[in-house]
A = this chain, B = another copy of it.
Amino acid sequence: MDFELSDEQKMLADAAQRYVREECTLEAHRAAAATPEGFSRDHWNQFAEMGWLALAIPEDAGGLGGSPVDMAVLMEQLGEGLVVEPIVDSTVLCGTLLAKSDNAGLRAKLLEGIATGECIVTLAHIEGDGRSEYETQVGATATRAGEGWTLSGTKQRVFHGQTADYWLVTARMEGGVGLFAVARDATGVTVDTHRMIDGTQASDLSFNGTALGADALVLAPGATQAALEEALDRANLATTAAAIGSMEAVMAITAEYIKTRVQYGKPLSTFQALQHRMAEMFVETDQAHSILYRSLSIALSGSAADLGKAVSAAKALVTQACQFVTAQGIQLHGGIGCTEEYVIGHHYKAMIVYEKRYGDASFHLARSAR
């Protein structure tokens, strides 16, 4: 067992660290949240240029074929910088789904587009009472129409749905649930978009007899469910790494702040109660790192069922750790920590988003023990 980063991984981490330090300022973050898309196209283009959008894409589709470890190395750095761009949705979640497609032409076209950043793809899956992508019924239907299909149904909370060039839409068809690629400019779609707490957008999509071509099928029934689980698990690995980066950032910023903030004639950092709080944040963050390593180990060698349990274990632990660290980061700052003009609160919001996307803490705790 060897925990050392490879030279390539070190270069990746260094580049991401430098980028975050130089470009991912709070001002940039707040500015992006105010745009219609809710993220920064500048960042996005830079990500593409750095090759980061190609990292999770298979080599045979023009990507770099990086491992989950590589992606985690990158995402931990980006998490420190509060990255909200759809890198996980498009390259990890949809990238994994598309990589499993037998539809060679579509697979090649979309994966190449994802890897270059020219194409943003996002998953449209949740319906009705579904609390997450793991826990939803599929009622949308794709009925045969000539060579193609007609798509009808409603999908909720499609993150970056208004921005995406393609949606990967689950629908009930002959034989079960399949996955289709639908271009944003398809006919018969209503898009109702909402702002999220981190400034990003999510959309409710209504398909009313949307016509799909013969080449729109990404995954046939039988292949879809397993692919979805694996893709969601890989997405969770990436966002978990980002959450850990966020925790490291919160610790560093908070330690610095309490060293300079003076109350009762001495720096806050001299109060033992606050020192111990920092120590508790450190314990949580250290454990978060460790369980991520564990889940990455299983991602590299374990079965799909092992992966699911390991990812859920990681998310169950890291959500709790991240909740504690970001909330206490605010607490140790005092009033300023509660303001939109200061960075700590944005990490708190990023924690909420992390926890609620791709299955929440409660879901994952139960799944870890299945």
Chain A residues in the interface with B (C-beta under 8 A): 271-273, 275-276
Q: Give the shortest distance, in Å, between A140 (CB) and chain B (any CB).
A: 37
Q: How many copies does the complex hold?
A: 2
Q: CA of A271 to CA of B272 in the docked complex: distance in angstroms?
A: 7
Q: CA of A155 to CA of B307 in the docked complex: distance in angstroms?
A: 48
- The residue in chain B whose Cβ has the minimal distance to the Cβ of A272 is B272
| A contact patch SS | helix
Question: What are the residues of chain B within 8 A of A276 when measuring CB–CB?
Answer: 273
Q: Give the shortest distance, in Å, between A284 (CB) and chain B (any CB).
A: 17
- The residue in chain B whose Cβ has the minimal distance to the Cβ of A279 is B273
- The residue in chain B whose Cβ has the minimal distance to the Cβ of A275 is B273
Question: What are the residues of chain B within 8 A of A273 when measuring CB–CB?
Answer: 272-273, 275-276
- The residue in chain B whose Cβ has the minimal distance to the Cβ of A276 is B273
Q: CA of A275 to CA of B271 in the docked complex: distance in angstroms?
A: 12
Q: CA of A271 to CA of B270 in the docked complex: distance in angstroms?
A: 11
- The residue in chain B whose Cβ has the minimal distance to the Cβ of A271 is B272
Q: Give the shortest distance, in Å, between A331 (CB) and chain B (any CB).
A: 13
Task: Point out which of A271, A273, A275, A276 has the most chain B C-beta atoms below 10 A from its C-beta.
Answer: A273
Q: CA of A18 to CA of B71 in the docked complex: distance in angstroms?
A: 69
Question: What are the residues of chain B within 8 A of A272 when measuring CB–CB?
Answer: 271-273
Q: CA of A272 to CA of B275 in the docked complex: distance in angstroms?
A: 10
**Mind listing 6 A-B residue pairs with CB under 8 Å?**
A271-B272, A272-B272, A272-B273, A273-B273, A273-B275, A273-B276
Q: Give the shortest distance, in Å, between A349 (CB) and chain B (any CB).
A: 28
6 nearest A-B pairs in the assembled complex, by CB-CB distance:
A272-B272, A272-B273, A273-B276, A273-B273, A271-B272, A273-B275
Question: What are the residues of chain B within 8 A of A271 when measuring CB–CB?
Answer: 272
- The residue in chain B whose Cβ has the minimal distance to the Cβ of A270 is B272
Q: CA of A273 to CA of B274 in the docked complex: distance in angstroms?
A: 8
Question: What are the residues of chain B within 8 A of A275 when measuring CB–CB?
Answer: 273
Q: Give the shortest distance, in Å, between A281 (CB) and chain B (any CB).
A: 15
Q: Give the shortest distance, in Å, between A280 (CB) and chain B (any CB).
A: 11
Q: CA of A272 to CA of B264 in the docked complex: distance in angstroms?
A: 14
